[in-house]
Amino acid sequence: MKRMTRAMVALAAGAAAAVLALPATSANANPANEWGPYYSQNDLARVKGTIDISWNHQQTSNNVRVTGQLWDDDSRYYKHGGKCAYVKFQVTNLYSHHWYTIKKYQHCGFDTAKHFAFGKKHVSSLRFKVCQIHHKTKHVSDCGDWNYLYTAENE
């Protein structure tokens, strides 16, 4: 009986050590669903967030939910060339492979963030790019590359 008790104590101690060796994460955090930050070409706008994808039981249709924050990191006054942060999202759906814009967000306010959330059904691919936009003329500039947030083919 003593031998069995010692073995169980040793096993429990080993399991506790293994758990302590794992990286710490929040109970509600799912790092696989987090993305970003991504930046504009000149690093004066940034975006990050989360993405959740759910499929129906037949695996024929999905629902993509994106949440995030868009930051304006341009400290310049507008009269000195300051611009606002801008992000543009495009998708292709499961039935057509043409890209089209579904959401655009802009935020003016140095060192502050705008929160956003949207959902889309039947998504084959989702991409975005981070840019800056002039607060009056709405001219988009300093765009980073397209970043692919989701592709159904990879599942």
Residue 66 belongs to some domain of the structure: yes
Q: pLDDT in tens for each of the 155 residues of the chain?
A: 333 333 433 434 444 433 333 333 333 334 569 999 999 999 999 999 999 999 999 999 999 999 999 999 999 999 999 999 999 999 999 988 899 999 999 999 999 999 999 999 999 999 999 999 999 999 999 999 999 999 998 77
pLDDT at 96: 85
Residue 87 belongs to some domain of the structure: yes
Residue 90 belongs to some domain of the structure: yes
């939910």: which residue's tokens? 65
In the chain, the number of structural domains is 1
Question: What's 114's domain CATH number?
Answer: 2.60.40
- As a whole number of angstroms, the distance between CA 20 and CA 87 comes to 39
Q: Give which of 69, 66, 108 is closest to 85, Cα–Cα.
A: 108
Residue 7 belongs to some domain of the structure: no
Q: Which parts of 40-95 are beta strand (E)?
A: 45-55, 62-72, 84-93
Residue 4 belongs to some domain of the structure: no
- As a whole number of angstroms, the distance between CA 58 and CA 40 comes to 39
CA angle 134, 136, 140 (to 5 degrees): 30
pLDDT at 97: 82
- As a whole number of angstroms, the distance between CA 39 and CA 43 comes to 5
Question: Range of 92's domain?
Answer: 31-154
Residue 14 belongs to some domain of the structure: no
Residue 118 belongs to some domain of the structure: yes
Residue 121 belongs to some domain of the structure: yes
pLDDT at 32: 62
pLDDT at 1: 39
pLDDT at 149: 97
- As a whole number of angstroms, the distance between CA 68 and CA 46 comes to 11
Buried b (16+ CB within 10 A) or exposed e, 66-82: bebbbbbbbeeeeeeeb
Helices (H), the chain: 2-21
pTM of the entire predicted model? 0.78
pLDDT at 6: 37
